[in-house]
A and B are shown apart, each in its own frame.
Chain A
Amino acid sequence: MSNLLEASVQPRQDAIEAEQAQFVALASPGAVLTGTQRVTLAAAARTGQVADGLETLAHHLYTEPAAVHEQHVRKAADLFGDPATVEAIGIVSRLSSVDRIHTVLGVDPEPLPEPLPGEPTEAVAKGLKRRRGFLPKPPGEIPTTLDLVPGEGHALRAMFGPMYMTEHEMGDPNFRREPGLNTPQLETVAARISLLNRCFY
């Protein structure tokens, strides 16, 4: 059951499924964090009740992304490691997305899931280096930025299609959801949010 079903407008099934998949991913063991650590991090992002530097970064990124600077990220990465920091950024970013969708639709946020048992997978890409950013990544644009931890990169890309448009759809200026917004309308929302978040990329 998703709170999206409480909205005054009919939610798209693919969006419901994408959101539910994100909550399963959140509760599951990551590359270096357990399910419990990941859900605790998400709770800290929402509430500001933080116990360590990684949770502090998570809360800042959730509440005021433009105020997060290199020294904040590198401080967390030096203490907890690059993979844990990538996991934290992925978790918080996707949680921010889901929470904002609920706010705009006027429905309650989803309660955080119960953590799933298991050990971290240790699935971390080898041989990557820092390029123009704060953390190691392969060459490529924004969709590749979390690929130090392949599970985080996959979770990010799984949100794109249902919530915005797929990479294939992005290549078509005539794309429109039927029924729904067309490309210029989708880009209007994207551009205005990014400007207000002071994210100039």
Chain B
Amino acid sequence: MFSHARRLSWSGETLGYTINIAAIGGEEVDLGIEGGNELIDLVDAFFAGDESQQESARKAVIEVLGPESFFDSATVFGNFEMMNRIAEGTGIGIPPQWIERHAEMVETLHLTDAMKSQQT
């Protein structure tokens, strides 16, 4: 997750966006990129398992970003279901020094407690 949050900040800033990474942590703020909050809502809808929420989220992404982007969002969603399972199944984790180095991002995403428990 952190590598992608960092890539989001890096690529967003390169393209001239002001990224508010707290949106990735679930805060109701503007992420700062076109369709960013609709993409977050799409992911959340499928984790929540609510079919009407899923349909609304699909329509919102198509309306704001277009059908091709909706298809891309589905494939990247699938790709990271895969990558997350590979990381969990093989035990590839984050070194403790990395967490210390990125303490501000950990705090912004409200993950301090969750990450401490993973390290123990």
Contacting residue for B17 out of A66, A89, A92, A184, CB 8 A: A184
Contact B1 A194 (CB under 8 A): yes
Residues of chain A contacted by B39 (CB below 8 angstroms): 185, 188-189, 192
Contact B91 A133 (CB under 8 A): yes
Residues of chain B contacted by A197 (CB below 8 angstroms): 80-81, 84, 88
Contacting residue for B75 out of A68, A132, A162, CB 8 A: A162
Chain A nearest Cβ from B57, distance in angstroms: 9
Contact A188 B68 (CB under 8 A): no
Contact A104 B73 (CB under 8 A): yes
Q: Chain B, interface size: which category?
A: 35 or more
Contact B15 A184 (CB under 8 A): yes
A84 at the interface (CB under 8 A from B): no
Residues of chain B contacted by A21 (CB below 8 angstroms): none
25 pairs, A vs B, C-beta closer than 8 Å: A8-B67, A12-B68, A12-B72, A73-B89, A93-B85, A97-B82, A100-B46, A103-B46, A104-B74, A104-B77, A133-B93, A134-B89, A156-B86, A173-B11, A174-B11, A184-B17, A184-B19, A184-B36, A185-B39, A188-B24, A188-B39, A189-B80, A190-B80, A191-B4, A201-B94
Complex Cα gap A142–B43 (Å): 22
B90 at the interface (CB under 8 A from A): yes
Complex Cα gap A146–B87 (Å): 10
A183 at the interface (CB under 8 A from B): yes
Q: Is the interface of A mostly helix, strand, loop or mixed?
A: helix
Q: Which 8 pairs of residues, A with B, have the shortest CB-CB distance?
A: A194-B1, A97-B82, A134-B91, A101-B78, A133-B91, A89-B89, A187-B8, A199-B84
Complex Cα gap A1–B37 (Å): 34
Chain B nearest Cβ from A127, distance in angstroms: 18
Taking A12-B75, A66-B88 as given, write out 13 further A-B residue pairs in contact, using a Cβ cutoff of 8 Å, ordered by the A residue number: A65-B85, A93-B81, A164-B80, A170-B7, A184-B15, A184-B36, A185-B35, A185-B36, A185-B65, A187-B8, A192-B44, A195-B109, A195-B111
Contact A189 B84 (CB under 8 A): no
The tally of residues in A whose CB lies under 8 Å from a CB in B reads: 72
Residues of chain B contacted by A70 (CB below 8 angstroms): 91
Complex Cα gap A181–B12 (Å): 13
Contact B71 A199 (CB under 8 A): no
A120 at the interface (CB under 8 A from B): no
Contact A96 B81 (CB under 8 A): yes
A128 at the interface (CB under 8 A from B): no
Contact B71 A105 (CB under 8 A): yes
Chain A nearest Cβ from B54, distance in angstroms: 8
B118 at the interface (CB under 8 A from A): yes
Complex Cα gap A69–B67 (Å): 38
Complex Cα gap A146–B88 (Å): 12
Complex Cα gap A83–B37 (Å): 41
Contact B79 A10 (CB under 8 A): no
Residues of chain B contacted by A90 (CB below 8 angstroms): 86
Contact B89 A194 (CB under 8 A): no
